[in-house]
């Protein structure tokens, strides 16, 4: 098969020692203002060449949206790859002169991605869905994982027919000091009917849903308190690979580097300075079609443990994992 490597039986996964962590005493109990757990909303794939990234994702079998521009204080442009309820944001820093610096109450979206891209390409930010960004910001403040002002902005969006509509967002940021090269925020959409569009979600590779986002950390358990407060999910699963949190839309997995290599057969990003966003797992309706789509495009990938894996050297610093859609996805 052109470009696709098949891993042997020796690569089968063995997970032992799973235990339910459940309600942890070191995570504050919810109060009357608590909200249900937050599901995955999108992940930012930071790249230096946005057009090249769009072409890569098209060859991977995705529908890719038109270029959009963020506020001047960010200096970023993006293109969107939508799935139902989740999207991959291909993002580059295109206009640097007006980027706002970080301050005590301002998390600078543009400055973070500018600094990230000065070092590497790859997955830079994870966003969760949010019905009320201000309530999320207050919850983050109470949990001492963020004390940032909510950032509100709007932009034009191009529909599949070429017409332009308005979308608007409010972002509430959180920070994990043990993950300085990963950013986290809640994203509230004000005109979701203008953003989500089934015509953008019908992909030739049959991708249908997000299964998981994977972080790599030297000590996965170091991040459970932050991630629990960030997601609102107090039930965690400890495994031989690390820590998992199941959200209403997709799982957040934190693996140590050895487990990551074992699962995906690729090198993880360098986590010596803290946890890094490493991979996104996507569920497909037809695994054979996903393979043939990438074969036809000459994409270098491999099949391992029943998953199709596009490595970071092919996918601009990210690891993209395709797997058969389960009954729960």
The CATH code of the domain that includes 109 is 3.10.180.10
Instruction: Say if residue 187 is in the same domain as residue 268.
Output: no
Looking at the domain assignment, is residue 211 inside a domain? yes
Q: What confidence tens digit (pLDDT) does each residue in 242-293 have?
A: 999 999 999 999 999 999 999 999 999 999 999 999 999 999 999 999 999 9
Looking at the domain assignment, is residue 29 inside a domain? no
Q: What's the average model confidence in pLDDT over 108-133?
A: 97
Q: What confidence tens digit (pLDDT) does each residue in 40-81 have?
A: 999 999 999 999 999 999 999 999 999 999 999 999 999 999
Looking at the domain assignment, is residue 23 inside a domain? no
Residue where one domain finishes, among candidates 181, 200, 219: 200
Looking at the domain assignment, is residue 50 inside a domain? yes
The span from the CA of 148 to the CA of 138, in Å, is: 9
Instruction: Say if residue 102 is in the same domain as residue 183.
Output: yes
Residue where one domain finishes, among candidates 147, 173, 200: 200
Instruction: Say if residue 155 is in the same domain as residue 49.
Output: yes
Instruction: Say if residue 62 is in the same domain as residue 185.
Output: yes
Helix boundaries (H) for 143-265: 192-195, 224-231, 257-264
Domain that holds residue 312: 4-16+205-324
The span from the CA of 319 to the CA of 255, in Å, is: 14
The span from the CA of 202 to the CA of 42, in Å, is: 17
Average pLDDT, rounded, for the chain: 89
What is the predicted pLDDT for the residue at 60? 98
Q: What confidence tens digit (pLDDT) does each residue in 282-321 have?
A: 999 999 999 999 999 999 999 999 999 999 999 999 999 9
Residue where one domain finishes, among candidates 170, 200, 230: 200
Instruction: Say if residue 170 is in the same domain as residue 278.
Output: no
3-state secondary structure 55-100: HHHHHCCCCCCCCEECCCCCCEEEEEEEECCEEEEEEEECCCCCCC
Q: In this model, does residue 146 exceed pLDDT 50?
A: yes
Q: In this model, does residue 35 exceed pLDDT 80?
A: no
What is the predicted pLDDT for the residue at 14? 29
Instruction: Say if residue 272 is in the same domain as residue 142.
Output: no
pTM reported for the whole predicted model:
0.90
């Amino acid at each position: 098969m052109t470009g696709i490597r098949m891993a042997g039986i020796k690569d089968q996964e063995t997970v032992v020692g799973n235990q339910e962590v459940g309600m942890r005493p070191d995570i504050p109990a919810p109060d009357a203002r608590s909200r249900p757990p937050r599901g995955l909303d999108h992940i930012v794939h930071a790249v230096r060449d946005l057009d090249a990234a769009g072409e890569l994702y098209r060859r991977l079998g995705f529908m890719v949206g038109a270029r959009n521009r963020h506020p001047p204080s960010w200096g970023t442009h993006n293109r969107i790859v939508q799935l139902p309820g989740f999207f991959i944001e291909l993002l580059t820093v295109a206009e640097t002169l007006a980027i706002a610096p970080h301050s005590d109450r301002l998390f600078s979206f543009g400055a973070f991605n500018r600094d990230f891209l000065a070092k590497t390409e790859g997955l830079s930010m994870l966003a969760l869905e949010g019905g009320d960004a201000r309530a999320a910001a207050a919850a983050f403040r109470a949990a001492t994982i963020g004390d940032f002002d909510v950032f509100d902005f709007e932009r034009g969006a191009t529909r599949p027919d070429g017409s332009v509509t308005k979308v608007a967002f409010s972002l509430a940021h959180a920070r994990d000091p043990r993950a300085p090269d990963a950013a986290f925020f809640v994203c509230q959409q004000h005109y979701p009917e203008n953003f989500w569009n089934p015509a953008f979600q019908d992909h030739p590779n049959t991708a249908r849903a997000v299964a998981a986002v994977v972080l790599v950390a030297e000590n996965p358990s170091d991040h459970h308190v932050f991630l629990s407060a960030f997601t609102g999910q107090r039930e965690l699963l400890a495994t031989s690979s690390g820590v998992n949190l199941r959200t209403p839309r997709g799982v957040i997995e934190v693996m140590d580097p050895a487990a990551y290599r074992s699962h995906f057969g690729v090198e993880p990003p360098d986590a010596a300075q803290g946890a890094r966003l490493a991979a996104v797992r996507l569920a497909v309706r037809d695994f054979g079609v996903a393979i043939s789509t990438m074969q036809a495009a000459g994409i270098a990938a491999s099949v391992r443990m029943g998953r199709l894996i596009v490595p970071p050297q092919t996918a601009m610093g990210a690891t993209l994992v395709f797997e058969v859609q389960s009954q729960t996805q």
